[in-house]
Structure 1
Amino acid sequence: MSARIFCLLSAADDLSLLPALADAGIDGFQVREKSLGTGDLVALTRSVLAAVRPRGSTVVVNDRLDVALAAGADGVHLGASDLAVADARRLAPGLLVGATCRSRDEVVAAAEAGADYAGFGPVHATSSKDGLPAALGVAAVTAAAGVLPLVAIGGLDAARAAEVRAAGAHGVAVIGAIWRHPDPLGAAKELVAAAG
């Protein structure tokens, strides 16, 4: 697990910025697209890989192990209602497997099931995803750290990214901090300086 800053993306984002974002130090990208059919999602993932892998960035696919395997991605990120981590690990022993966690106990369970890292959050309130539970707060990051590399997510900007890194997170994952910023590339550089 080397990526420290994951940028989540969908087909609606300005994917022409991906090479520049990777060059700026965004070393992980997660393809999170719920609206595409399987073939189109594989094609999207391949285009992301082509844009950022030559620059050394990692690419994981949200929810879909089949797409990650078909596209040749580096890994898959699984939520609580997705394929079980243990099954993903058995089916794809060479892939990076991440698991969404909201407590230390969940991080321990993910580690025991074979996860490589835990996506931990939401740390702060966010509008990037509907139906999320209440924000966990920075203290929850410290409480859950030390079992697996934690990738904190939820309402993070450069200042908050530095805060969660200091609290014990291995890295951060962002959406709005880049895609809803008027200067996505400048925002990415700030994130890298704060949390890289």
Structure 2
Amino acid sequence: MFVLPRLFCLVSSTDDLALLPALAGAGVEGFQVRDKSATTAELVDLTRVVLDAVAPYGARVVVNDRVDVALATGAAGVHLGADDLPVAAARRLAPDLLIGATCRDGEAVRRAAEEGASYAGFGPVARSGSKAGLPEPLGTRALGEAAGPLPLVAIGGVDAQVARAAREAGAHGVAVIAAVWRHPDPIAAAKELVRAVA
């Protein structure tokens, strides 16, 4: 069974992949490969690049949306959104994978737990500019109310301050994009986030 990271950093092909070993060395335990525009072959290649960069540091890699790519590359897991393969089907196909499910409320978290999810990605907890079409921020109170059936990974507008508040509200950990990749010093930002979720 895989240990669930406290800090996930999402990665796409447009990010500076040369920084991945330093991010893992700074204590980022999890990386989620998410590239909506990539072909299957490109996503496989990107996942392998990420795995090669961070696995020596003990970091885990999950693939966004694609159970097949996670299995093909030997990634630790997959993160599924509402329009992806249902969690129960993914669990039947991949009984040993870490499986995350995007959830927006406590009922969704309970359903995901019943279907075999390992954790729930809960959010957006704060305002995010990294993904279009998100609902209004749910806040840490909603996160606290949803905690219990599964470990929650807070996502959406997470910086170090939000990460601390999310952990205090009951989140197991957080997932970030802009807090690392849009920061002037991504490694320093990663270290601050690691401290925030400790």
Q: Structure 2-normalised TM-score? A: 0.98
* Match of residue 58, structure 1, among 50, 57, 60: 60
Structure 1 residue ranges without an equivalent (≥5): none
Query: How does 1:90-101 map onto structure 2 within 5 Å?
Result: 90-101=92-103
Counterparts of 2:145 and 2:195, CA distance in 1:
25
Q: Kindly provide the amino acid, as one letter, of the partner of residue 60 in structure 1.
A: V
Equivalent runs, 1:16-165 vs 2, <5 Å: 16-165=18-167
Q: Partners of 1:156 and 1:34 in 2: how far apart?
A: 21
Give the Å deviation of 1:176.
Answer: 0.2
* Structure 2 residue ranges without an equivalent (≥5): none
3-state secondary structure, aligned to 2:84: coil
CA distance in 2, matches of 1:12, 1:97: 25
1:21-57 deviation line (CA, Å, top 9, x unaligned): 0010100000000111111110110110011111010
How do residues 175-186 of structure 1 correspond to structure 2 at under 5 angstroms? 175-186=177-188
Q: Note the alpha carbon deviations across 1:39-89, whole angstroms, 9 max, x for none.
A: 111011011001111101010000011111111110000000100000000
The equivalent of 2:195 in structure 1 is: 193
Aligned-residue Cα RMSD (Å) equals 0.6
Identity %: 66
Shift of 1:2: 2.4
Paired letter, 1:160:
V
After TM superposition, the score normalised by the length of structure 1 is: 0.99
Count of residue pairs the alignment pairs up: 196
Instruction: Give the whole-Å Cα distance in 2 for the aligned partners of 1:81 and 1:36.
Output: 17
Query: Which structure 1 residue ranges, 4+ long, deviate > 4 Å from structure 2?
Result: none
- The amino acid of 1:35's aligned partner reads S
Q: Find the residue that maps to 2:110 and give its secondary structure.
A: helix
Q: Which of 7, 13, 16 in structure 2 is aligned with 1:14?
A: 16
